[in-house]
Amino acid sequence: MNPLAKKLNRDIKASNSIVYDILSKKGREMFYPSHGILAQAAEAKGKKINATIGIALEENGEILCLDSISSNVNLPKNEVFNYVPSYGKINLRKKWQELIFKKNPSLKGEKISLPVVTNAITHGLSMCGYLFLNKGDEVIIPSPFWGNYRFIFDNAYGSKIVNFPIFDSGRFNVEGLKKILNKRGRKKVLLLNFPNNPTGYTPLEEDIPKIVKTIKTAAQNGKKIVVLIDDAYFGLIYENNVYKESIFSELCKVHKNVLAVKIDGVTKEDYAWGLRVGFVSYGIKSGNDKLYSALADKTGGAVRGNISNAPNISQSLVLSSFKDSKYNSQKAKKYAILKKRANKVKQILKKHPEYRDEFEALPFNSGYFMCIVLKNHDPEKIRNILLDKYDTGTIAFPGLLRVAFSATPYNLLEELFENIYHACKKN
Ligand X SMILES: Cc1ncc(COP(=O)(O)O)c(C=O)c1O
Contacts with ligand X by CB under 6 A lie at 120-122, 146, 193, 197, 230, 232, 265, 267, 273, 278
Considering the complex, state which of residue 191 and residue 420 has its C-beta at the smaller distance from ligand X: 191
> Least CB distance from residue 193 to ligand X, whole Å?
5
> Least CB distance from residue 166 to ligand X, whole Å?
13
Considering the complex, state which of residue 230 and residue 245 has its C-beta at the smaller distance from ligand X: 230
Residue 276 falls in which region: left (phi positive, over 0), alpha (psi -120 to 50) or beta: left
Local structure of 192: helix, strand or coil: strand
> Least CB distance from residue 410 to ligand X, whole Å?
22
Peptide bond into 33 cis (omega under 30): no
Considering the complex, state which of residue 251 and residue 424 has its C-beta at the smaller distance from ligand X: 251
CB 135 within 8 A of CB 297: no
> Least CB distance from residue 233 to ligand X, whole Å?
7
Measured distance CA(400)–CA(393) in Å, rounded: 14
User: CB atoms < 10 A from the CB of 427, how many?
Assistant: 11
Dihedral angle sign, alpha carbons of residues 136, 137, 142, 148: negative
> Least CB distance from residue 404 to ligand X, whole Å?
10
Considering the complex, state which of residue 233 and residue 417 has its C-beta at the smaller distance from ligand X: 233
> Least CB distance from residue 368 to ligand X, whole Å?
8
CB 80 within 8 A of CB 319: no
Considering the complex, state which of residue 81 and residue 279 has its C-beta at the smaller distance from ligand X: 279
CB contact set of 51 (below 8 Å; sequence gap of 6+): 44
To which H or E segment does residue 226 belong? strand 224-230
Measured distance CA(67)–CA(70) in Å, rounded: 5
Considering the complex, state which of residue 86 and residue 122 has its C-beta at the smaller distance from ligand X: 122
